[in-house]
Amino acid sequence: MSAAHQALRTARHGGRELAITVLDRGTHTSYSACGIPYWMAGDVGSGEDLVARTAEEHREAGIDLRLGVEAVSVDLAARTVTTADGETLSYDDLVVATGAPAVMPDWALRADGTAYDGVGVVKTLDDGAAWIERFAAAGDGARVVVVGAGYVGVEVAETALERGFEVTVLTRGRGMSILEEEMSDRVNAGLVAAGVEVVLGAEVSGLDVVGDRVAGVHWDGGSRAADLVVVAIGVRPATGLLAGSGLEMAANGALRPDRHGRVAERVWSAGDCCEVRRRVDDAWVFRPLGTHAAKHGRALGDSLAGGDLAFDGMVDTAITRFAHGEVYLEIARTGLSRAEAEAAGHDPVALVTEGTTATGYMPEAEPIAIWVMADRTTRRLLGVQVVGGHGAGKRVDTAAAVLWAGGSVDDLAWMDLAYAPPFATTWEVLQVAARRVAERI
């Protein structure tokens, strides 16, 4: 929808006139998937609050929006799309913005392909509504097992704690794999301090089921009783309708559009069904995040209507939060991991630095840990990760700006960042962290 609206905007400003038809197999448009855990927690009053633009608003803008219509195949040569109802639509330009549904593993599914009762993912508004019903029906102290410790897993763990449930998080690895181990350890410690049971290295192998309802989860080496199981193990691009099209795809089916969203002659794509270009190492990576989707969609829409806006990639920035009771952690990262840096041929130097978010004597001061990595030879900044209290997380934006410009660890250490006692230390902690790495090189 970002692409559609930008195309209309560009058309109004002298661009190519377009008649836009949007097919969506779902029932809602333009909602914030990222907000669903907060809706489930009760921070957000209703699912409607998460809807940025209703179907009516899209239609009033001149978009022929058809909800409940699923595109099942595409003929690129004939320039037609066929729907599940057997209708065939022809097009001049095709935009594939099919997103990436949550992965539901076989162990969660009945013979008919639907999940056992009490088991679900957190992806669509309908998912959110289903969880709110399940939460309401579950008694006090119900046992919730969250499978996966990525953003969604950690956010849902918070949600379930806020709802008063007993929470276990199972992760096949060492926790948040978007962080280096010395940083993900801090997140694990925060989860545990807040009362979550965290089981690392637990790859789920199956469920215990009573009737149609989940009663437990087991993995190689353990099991837990469970009233509810949240599956949060990732998403997969919905590009099945392009099977056999000959378009270049990543191993997981993601498309690789250029900076204008172009995949092939008259075929465009953006959003969660695509990989994005990471500027730091010029690599294709699958990062199904709303920020990339919104920017790439906008560039696509403008380009489709004859403009030249471009999405010049990303630097792998992300943020989340885990908060319950006395525990409050902002968790953020940007740039490469150590393994990615090594794979790209760098000789990385990395250190964790501990400090405070405000000057130590102020009541606002909270602990913050910052991991900084730079290249030993070029001194180029390669990555920054943060775990800390209020005000910690968005500090990665400053590092992201340095990565965007290809700057050095010295740039980060010496640039002019804002200081006053409620906000920072005189040497901003991000700069102390960069300076320590600079001195180590």
With tokens 């005000």, the residue in question is 391
Q: How far is the CB of 86 from its own copies (least distance, A)?
A: 36
Secondary structure class of 2 (helix, strand, coil): helix
Site for its own copies in 50-79 (CB under 8 A): 50
Q: How far is the CB of 30 from its own copies (least distance, A)?
A: 10
Q: How far is the CB of 219 from its own copies (least distance, A)?
A: 29
**Cβ(95)–Cβ(191) below 8 Å:** no
Q: How far apart are the first and last CA of the chain?
A: 47
Q: Please select the residue that binds its own copies; options are 171, 269, 317, 385, rule is CB under 8 A.
A: 317
Please give the biggest Cα pair distance in the chain. Answer: 70
426 in contact with its own copies (CB under 8 A):
yes
Q: How far is the CB of 231 from its own copies (least distance, A)?
A: 20
Of 155 and 375, the one with the shorter C-beta distance to its own copies is 155
Which range of residues in 93-101, 119-127, 159-167, 310-318 is near its own copies by CB under 8 A?
A: 310-318
Site for its own copies in 386-405 (CB under 8 A): 390-391, 393-398, 400-402, 404-405
- Rounded Cα distance, 214 and 227, in Å: 6
Q: Please select the residue that binds its own copies; options are 206, 427, 436, 441, rule is CB under 8 A.
A: 427
Q: Please select the residue that binds its own copies; options are 351, 421, 436, 441, rule is CB under 8 A.
A: 421
Which range of residues in 18-26, 125-133, 197-205, 424-432 is near its own copies by CB under 8 A?
A: 424-432
Strand ranges inside 197-317, DSSP E = 197-200, 204-210, 213-219, 222-225, 228-231, 262-264, 267-269, 276-278, 283-285
- Rounded Cα distance, 190 and 389, in Å: 11
Residue 73 burial (CB count, 10 A):
16
Interface with its own copies: number of residues (CB under 8 A): 64
Q: How far is the CB of 275 from its own copies (least distance, A)?
A: 15
Site track for its own copies across 252-291, x = CB under 8 A: -------------------------------------xxx
305 in contact with its own copies (CB under 8 A):
no
Query: Which residues does 12 contact at the CB level (< 8 Å), separation at least 6?
Result: none
φ/ψ of 440, rounded to 5, equals -80, -25
Of 85 and 282, the one with the shorter C-beta distance to its own copies is 282
**Cβ(389)–Cβ(332) below 8 Å:** no
DSSP for 135-175 reads: HHHSPTT-EEEEE--SHHHHHHHHHHHHTT-EEEEEESSSS
With tokens 């099942």, the residue in question is 72
- Rounded Cα distance, 434 and 409, in Å: 6
Q: Please select the residue that binds its own copies; options are 26, 34, 91, 351, rule is CB under 8 A.
A: 34
Strand ranges inside 220-271, DSSP E = 222-225, 228-231, 262-264, 267-269
Which range of residues in 180-188, 201-209, 238-246, 408-416 is near its own copies by CB under 8 A?
A: 408-416
Site for its own copies in 147-176 (CB under 8 A): 151
Site track for its own copies across 324-363, x = CB under 8 A: ------x-x-x------------------------x-xxx
Going by C-alpha positions, the residue among 221, 32, 40 that lies closest to residue 130 is 40
Residues that bind its own copies (CB under 8 A): 32, 34-35, 38, 43-45, 49-50, 151, 289-292, 294-295, 311-321, 330, 332, 334, 359, 361-363, 390-391, 393-398, 400-402, 404-405, 407, 411-412, 414-424, 426-428
